[in-house]
């Protein structure tokens, strides 16, 4: 497996939650990590907590100029190279089937899919030089049906599908591609999307815990561990890795 020490890693959506956890894990093992996101204060706090190995770059992955800045900063901070791109930025999108709006669906795909594809496209030549890895953040919404979440599920299904085709296309250039499918993990995602407030958080996660075969929700550290594995494993590509405590098994109490 490849050593993490001296890796150059770019993590989008790195100011909180899973993205911050990924950055923390890589930096602690000697990688030079660049985190990006729209909320500058969150990025600054995260980079400060992680230490000198981490650089914060505020920007929106939906913006072409910002994407270019993220890559330039990551290469400069990483010693002139890029080894790993973690496409973690995204948001939760829910809407009833009979209430779809084109604007909402377009925003969902722009934020969760197209921005990641465009950033990846711009990073290919850099990753070819290092025989690097591209990692997308999917969801177990492609394994279990959650009513009301079709916009989000569709975007995550798209990421999972393109992972395999991208891996096939980029294999000849020695670039590996993978997708992580997390189960329920306590982050700001649903709060940020306005789906429930802080007073509901504990109750919501307590309710979903029994859906997991292991009987609990996951941690950002456990997702970060799986991202590290895909970044380091030199003969794994095209995989959608379920890191979900068994929620995708559909365990029933019936």
Report the catalytic residues: 152
- Identify the residue whose tokens are 């709060």: 191
The Cα 144–Cα 250 span in angstroms is 7
The Cα 55–Cα 8 span in angstroms is 11
Of residues 159, 12, 24, 192, the one with CA closest to residue 89: 12
The Cα 176–Cα 173 span in angstroms is 9
Angle of helix 115-130 relative to helix 64-77, nearest 10 degrees?
30
The Cα 100–Cα 228 span in angstroms is 37
The Cα 108–Cα 120 span in angstroms is 18
Q: Per the structure block, which two tokens stand in for 53?
A: 């190995």
Alpha helix segments (H runs only) across 7-144 = 17-28, 40-50, 64-77, 102-109, 115-130
- Identify the residue whose tokens are 């990483």: 78
Of residues 24, 6, 30, 21, the one with CA closest to residue 180: 21
Element (H, E) at 11: strand 8-12
As to burial, measured by CB atoms within 10 angstroms (0-12 exposed, 13-18 middle, 19+ buried), residue 79 is exposed
């Amino acid at each position: 497996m490849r050593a993490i020490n001296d890796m150059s890693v770019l993590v989008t959506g790195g100011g909180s939650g899973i993205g911050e956890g990924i950055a923390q894990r890589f930096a602690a093992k000697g990688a030079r990590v660049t985190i990006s996101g729209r909320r500058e204060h969150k990025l600054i706090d995260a980079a400060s907590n992680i230490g000198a190995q981490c650089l914060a770059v505020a920007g929106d992955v939906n913006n072409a100029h910002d994407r270019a800045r993220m890559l330039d900063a990551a290469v400069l901070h990483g010693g002139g190279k890029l080894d790993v791109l973690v496409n973690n930025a995204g948001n939760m999108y829910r809407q009833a089937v009979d209430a779809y709006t084109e604007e909402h669906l377009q925003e969902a795909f722009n934020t969760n899919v197209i921005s990641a594809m465009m950033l990846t496209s711009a990073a290919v030549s850099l990753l070819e030089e290092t025989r690097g890895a591209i990692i997308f953040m999917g969801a177990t919404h492609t394994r279990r049906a959650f009513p009301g979440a079709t916009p989000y599920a569709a975007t995550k299904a798209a990421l999972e599908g393109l992972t395999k085709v991208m891996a096939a296309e980029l294999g000849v250039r020695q670039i590996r591609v993978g997708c992580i499918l997390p189960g329920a993990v306590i982050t700001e995602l649903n709060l940020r999307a306005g789906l429930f407030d802080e007073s509901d958080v504990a109750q919501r996660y307590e309710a979903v815990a029994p859906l997991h075969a292991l009987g609990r929700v996951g941690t950002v550290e456990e997702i970060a561990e799986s991202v590290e594995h895909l970044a380091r494993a030199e003969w794994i590509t095209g995989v959608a890795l379920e890191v979900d405590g068994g929620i995708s098994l559909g365990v029933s109490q019936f």
